[in-house]
Chains A and B, each alone.
Chain A
Amino acid sequence: EIVLTQSPGTLSLSPGERASLSCRASQSVSGRSLAWYQQKPGQAPRLLVYGASSRATGIPDRFSGSGSGTDFTLTITGLEPEDFAVYYCHQYVTTPRTFGQGTKVEIK
């Protein structure tokens, strides 16, 4: 099983600032099969990025993903008020598929 470790647990930032979220895998995620989701309270997760760096349909370009192997990053350039939420990384290359424990981006 691939264990995903996200850091930091909480990120306190102001609107307009840049957020950098890390996801580290216990073993290499081949094919860059790593996705990022955003979840707001009371809502289902929403797919933001797949294939480590491809934005899902309708996702603003302030969201960008990067990385390969065991180290991946989600960057939000210029936080908007609606971006304050919890973010999860997810590997889907092997079974069982797994999620990270989440990073909460909160308003400072």
Chain B
Amino acid sequence: QITLKESGPTLVKPTQSLTLTCTFTGFSLTTSGVGVGWIRQPPGKALEWVAVIFWNDNKYYGPSLTSRVTVAKDTSGNQVALTLTNVDPADTATYYCAHTTYDSGPHPVDIWGQGTMVTVSS
């Protein structure tokens, strides 16, 4: 059974950096084809693709965040970290991590974590 859980600060001040961790079970990022994506959702708004990292360390970022976001994996610990620098109140959102795969073609994110709400405010 695949599970994912996000963790990190709930309140961050503007201009600071935000680091969120996704801890997962039921799969490993050392397995060919496996990936973990990050998606965020501001309150009352739509889903926004943030980033994805695959088993081979390929990473892809959403265009509006490319200059401020990085994603990294810790294969031994089954964790993925998302770092967002120079945060702004517009980064206030629920952040989700989710499982995906890429084998003989791309697959959508299928299993999601519960999400973690982050507020950016002074």
Interface of A toward B, CB cutoff 8 Å: 1, 31, 33, 35, 37, 39, 44-47, 50, 56, 88, 90, 92-93, 95-102
| Set A1, A50, A88: member contacting B47, Cβ < 8 A | A88
Q: Could you pull out 8 A-B pairs where Cβ atoms are within 8 angstroms?
A: A31-B106, A33-B105, A33-B106, A44-B96, A50-B110, A95-B52, A99-B39, A99-B46
**A31 in contact with B105 (CB, 8 Å):** yes
Of the listed stretches B7-15, B17-25, B55-63, B74-82, chain A binds B55-63
**B46 in contact with A92 (CB, 8 Å):** no
* Residues of A contacting B52 in the complex (Cβ-Cβ under 8 angstroms): 95, 97
**A96 in contact with B63 (CB, 8 Å):** yes
Report the minimal beta-carbon distance from B26 to chain A, rounded to whole angstroms: 14
**B63 in contact with A92 (CB, 8 Å):** no
**B96 in contact with A47 (CB, 8 Å):** no
Chain A, interface SS category: loop
* Residues 36-73 of B at the A interface (beta carbon under 8 Å): 37, 39, 46-49, 52, 60-63
Task: Please judge, given known A-B contacts A44-B114, A50-B107, A92-B106, whether A100 and B37 are in contact too, CB under 8 Å.
Answer: no
**B106 in contact with A45 (CB, 8 Å):** no
**B110 in contact with A98 (CB, 8 Å):** no
Report the minimal beta-carbon distance from A59 to chain B, rounded to whole angstroms: 11
| A44 to B63 CA separation, bound complex (whole angstroms) | 23
* Residues of A contacting B107 in the complex (Cβ-Cβ under 8 angstroms): 50, 92
**A102 in contact with B60 (CB, 8 Å):** no
Report the minimal beta-carbon distance from B62 to chain A, rounded to whole angstroms: 5
Q: B109: CB under 8 A from chain A?
A: yes
**A88 in contact with B108 (CB, 8 Å):** no
* Residues of B contacting A33 in the complex (Cβ-Cβ under 8 angstroms): 105-106, 108
**B62 in contact with A96 (CB, 8 Å):** yes
| Set A1, A35, A88, A96: member contacting B46, Cβ < 8 A | A88
Can you name the residue of chain B whose Cβ is closest to the Cβ of A50? Answer: B108
| A97 to B114 CA separation, bound complex (whole angstroms) | 20
Most buried by A among B39, B49, B96, B105: B49
| A11 to B96 CA separation, bound complex (whole angstroms) | 26
